[in-house]
Amino acid sequence: MVDIIKRNNVLMTGNGEKQIIFGHGFGCDQTVWKEVIKELKQEYRVITFDYVGSGRSDKGAYSQERYSTLHGYKQDLLDVCDSIGEGPFFFVGHSVSSMIGMLAAIERPELFSNLVMVAPSPYYMNEPGYQGGLDKTDIDELLELMGVNYKQWAKYLAPLIMLNEDQPELVDSFEELLCSNDPKIAREFAEVTFRSDVRAELKKLLVPTLIMQTRYDAIVPSEIGHYIHAQIPKSRFVVMKATGHNPHISDAEETVAFIKEYLSPSGDGKNG
């Protein structure tokens, strides 16, 4: 248990009886949730962590073999849950972490009372009849640039992810966060993120789920939220006023409002 807490840099705050775990997306760490957590720690016991290879996790525990699929990251989440006591937990995942949470909840549904997916996608690649948002050549070029010039890749990706031109400081801080990663591990995580296809798993998720999509996301097309909603039996779908792929950073207030409303006794979190 102690090893997991250290390995994944697990932090706990708040005094509420209900427990809420936050999972960060690719290229990030748990600090991306700081503004959201400020508003929730009065009501919940809040747990944050870093996937192995990210943030202040134990990089020595990283294995290319284990983390070559999303199931390696899924096991991180399950390990964290087991290390901090009994569930059930609310799980809030951003981007690829939404799918990691889904895989964990399919394997051990008793651990999770609800999932909240922020800007999720089960598959980022365009195919005939499916608009994932990126062509294969787009993904190949992004991965190649990561290998050739990681800092240039971060400089290119940060404004594309953040948008919100009226808050340029967010782009700068997000670029800095991307650059803080180990380039080799980050590229491997990127490959797993952008090439994984978990569309077939969506129907297996029986835990009530909130799907939150922004008004415009350069990475995830609007069709994707509707697609996920149609596949997950007990799901609710909302479109935020926020724009960009990181609404928990650019508009923490709206993000918190949707989470609170969904998980409240008067919300519809019980049935999705």
**Residues forming the active site:** 95, 217, 245
Report the alpha-carbon distance of residue 31 to residue 50 in Å, rounded: 9
60: helix, strand or coil: helix
Backbone angles phi, psi at 103, to 5 degrees: -60, -40
The CA-CA-CA angle for residues 26, 225, 48, to 5°, reads 35
Q: Give the helix ranges, DSSP H, for 52-195.
A: 70-83, 96-107, 136-148, 150-162, 168-179, 183-195
Report the alpha-carbon distance of residue 41 to residue 270 in Å, rounded: 21
Encoding tokens for residue 24?
């960060």
